[in-house]
Structure 1
């Protein structure tokens, strides 16, 4: 008799129904898992395509309440993109896939138990290794001993291939694509947010995960550097005519001086919000960003102007190093004044970078140059015609 014939599918699906009924925010994820009966796994495991491999003997021996907990456990590996995150850890740490799986189980199980789920005996938690709860598996992994565990949640967890997983092209069970998986994760995170708004409770690990899915943390330093490089590339790509160096084609027209084309070096203006709403920490972040801009974009000498601005421009200077920047202000906030003064300069900039907490009015019309707004904290974004880079406070 095959594993499919042995599987008590009614009991297994009843456990999934129980899990989805008691935690409806997980329903989409749970019902996206397709069942693959097999004797090759000791309990249950998943692959990258949301196929859930199930041992018939394990289903027979496990109460429905605990099976419901295992359903949530396996879905959690996929929701938290454990296989994708495992792909990004150093190869030396990935070598022991069961140790990776153990660290991932530590990340998941303390949340599940805190949420009142029952799990079968033998499921690990961080306190079994004297580790603090509520951490990510990447933090647990270096602190775990070599694993002698036999539980294997599959390539959907640790990311490494296993002998029992179906071929990627096998059509025996439905597959979830990566794009579909991202949609499931986002839908689940939104359902969790709605659950909390309706005065429901969630373990800290799930709340953190939902926040990261709906408001992903990006490396804003890299984004800012890329935005500035792209803006400067755009500015230096503009060409103009000059008679300072006549065109070589002038020799073909005696008595006529033709202008040559030149590629201008871009100028940068950095407008720093020094208003009262910007605390010392925010001013420090602004200064650090100026240092990063000067270093990253390679614009030197007198081609960078820094303006300290609250409701008026308090200081304007050309700088070659961050130490030369003078931050003055502390009054109201109106970055339009600083932007306008930058553009009215005898040599106007090609790129204006505004460092602000966002609590400021903005120009009604697009500036006559590229404008990058670096908004520190949760203030309002700049107009749609400007590029906004978000920097978290602290």
Structure 2
């Protein structure tokens, strides 16, 4: 079967040069004991010869391209806290449409990613977690028993035979943490080079624009941008009325920093189900740390999907807790309308959302920062920062 897999890679180089060239980066390893189908850690491509024997030549090329996309998209180092089976499925749902759109075929039973087309594995994982949470308790337990556990990098618990998907066609396992930085840089450079070559030949696969954009424009540190945005809109000034005591002993009369009370700020949270619990938790922690420094008069937390689902007000000094309510569609306009109806003039508004909603036609007078958890929908106004779980 080693010859069959090698032949499939050579055929990919001719038929699908983007996938073919990248597939040559992976060391082929035949493995019947710990590999159910195919799997990769970004360095090696393990395959079960008995499984490969069941595939047609076209299906084998599709499965190899599938594994290449796991590597190119960094799925071997992006799992973080997520359970291995759930992450594997989410990653498959994200990349399978790209393989099919490129004109290739996948084996019968491959996960259908059509409903999630264009979404990242993180987003798909969060959506499916929400769906599981809305199931009856008995169904939740069945779902959890099929795929929970944290797994260790490179072990079977993160993608070996014990956790292999029953309805998948290829797996992804965690890369070694010590190799992650080098592996990420290597794959990023290789993907860009392969894309450049494929583009010159007019053969760049559809659906690769997002990956290429993320490689060319790495995500910014959203925590730093959030902190800078809120601090910029706090009211700090210097006053000559009270001299700075540090300089009086030197005979210098210098102004002291006067921190006026920061006007109320607003935090809006998209509760349509597209923002994960972990993201909300990390976002809340960061907001609390910043608010503790700038001390606004109050923080209004608004929960909104297609309409306002709830508002919590935290007075100066109170710790902020964010507990989403709702899970309907997405419309941003109710938040801005509520602020207007309350005759509120906030120092700023921070909106955590996947950006897939209706924006107000007119930009408000106060500063707005969109915490974008998706990356696909630009805001017509305001500042935007891509927010990722870390």
Q: TM-score scaled by structure 1?
A: 0.48
Give 1 or 2 for the bigger CA radius of gyration: 1
> More relative contact order in 1 or in 2 (CA 8 Å, sep 6+)?
2
